[in-house]
Structure 1
């Protein structure tokens, strides 16, 4: 990827999505079959691949170090102006700073978990020209959380959501929408159960990928060692998205690409 394809992302907005897995080869084959991605090696080395569609980057998949095996989960990264300040805000508000901030390529990254345990990352520096809901980027990001209002306050304070960058936080009856310049970027829904035996109901960020044929993606997921899950929460809008589990346990959703 050339430097011309990197931009200064909008602070507070998602700027990337990433998945860490136990077997990079298996995951590469799975997401190639299900989502039609092509993969190339990244500047971070052989253990980290960038998935692309139509030549444009979609998301990253990296291999976990041996002996380091947290649950596999798709993780959104949010752009911030100051990674150190963001890390301090995370800790001040009773959440968990798991990693960083650490220097990574041309920027600095941190990994955290909110007060309910949902994992998210933050990034200071240039990022691919990538915006949720546009082009090859994921179609949506949805947070499943225990308390929607509390989560909206937490992320708003940590990430600096506000009108300065055209960001609006819209409270609905049972969920919260975050919009930029009138366009929905992500949503927060009630439904996370911290002590559930089912990983599908844990507080977590769900990444939605648009596909041309949902049923084909579902079939390929089943053939490729994945699993189709029954939606259990309101963040599956109008029943149009399908919940899939990859061979490493990572959950994500697919929906029909808008024409």
Structure 2
């Protein structure tokens, strides 16, 4: 699967969610301890950090100077799980929330004004958590796509049912809706934006499973040059390995948040 097909999105119109509507546009981690979380991801992924506009509990992760992810040290204060969450670009956060609720999903937080935009945290009707973001993006969308996030993958009960849910919320496949295309490839549903694979949906997760690792969830993947080095660094800094292949590893960070590192050469 080629994730690097050249894009036709213009270079001057991708700083706003209106131009990439319906696509993943950001990922964010909720944490309990910002300092140890920063240390972990610096060691594992090579990130550097800068303050965010929202205050001392928030940080922006940088890869080669490009913003790639957010960190919010609010898990205890807001009684939220320590977890990675993908955010999808929305023309209107309020409209997206309404569409989710009309289709059996739930609202957890928001919409809130979080400069430079507005955000809401939601769950689909199988319980997988995701966010919506309206407004200015943290960086040029193509720069973000080409830096470290590879794509996001939904593990869910029924991929086709989930594709209908998200397609109706974000107008996937509609003309002019962020240039998104939905393709069915075997047992997977694949979302492309101007040739880029930006999300995949696969069946198999169980809503009632006692292990949260096999419940419906969005998994964030990051591209890396050396999967084995990431694994070693994760284990040395309080993380653990859930699954390991030559070109990919599923990891837990020092606080328990799950993510995947994928070889840049295997993409």
TM-score by length of 1: 0.90
What residue in structure 1 maps to residue 8 of structure 2? none
- Matched-pair contact (CA < 8 Å) for 1:167–1:179: yes
Q: Decide which moves more: 71-80 or 192-201.
A: 192-201
What residue in structure 1 maps to residue 100 of structure 2? 90
Match of 1:170 among 170, 183, 201: 183
Q: Does residue 254 of structure 1 match 2:261?
A: yes
2:62 partner SS: strand
Per-residue CA distance 1:189-215 (angstroms, 9 max, x = gap): 112122222222121111111111110
What residue in structure 2 maps to residue 57 of structure 1? 67
Q: Does residue 225 of structure 1 match 2:238?
A: yes
Q: Could you tell me which runs of 5 or more consecutive residues in structure 2 were left unpaired when the two chains were aligned.
A: 1-11
Q: Does residue 116 of structure 1 match 2:126?
A: yes
Q: Decide which moves more: 141-150 or 63-72.
A: 63-72
Offset of 1:71 from its aligned partner? Answer: 2.4
1:193 partner SS: coil
Per-residue CA distance 1:30-78 (angstroms, 9 max, x = gap): 0000001001111111101111111011101110154533322210111
Q: Could you tell me which runs of 5 or more consecutive residues in structure 1 were left unpaired when the two chains were aligned.
A: 232-237
Change (3 A) 1:224 1:138: same
Offset of 1:130 from its aligned partner? Answer: 3.0
Structure 1: 4+ residue segments shifted above 4 A: none
Q: Decide which moves more: 71-80 or 29-38.
A: 71-80
What residue in structure 1 maps to residue 53 of structure 2? 43
Q: Provide the C-alpha distance between the structure 1 equivalents of 2:92 and 2:26, rounded to a whole number of angstroms.
A: 17
Q: Does residue 159 of structure 1 match 2:170?
A: yes
What residue in structure 2 maps to residue 240 of structure 1? 247
Per-residue CA distance 1:149-200 (angstroms, 9 max, x = gap): 0100000111121232321100122110001122211100112122222222
Match of 1:186 among 196, 199, 219: 199
RMSD of equivalent CA atoms: 2.1
Q: Does residue 145 of structure 1 match 2:153?
A: no
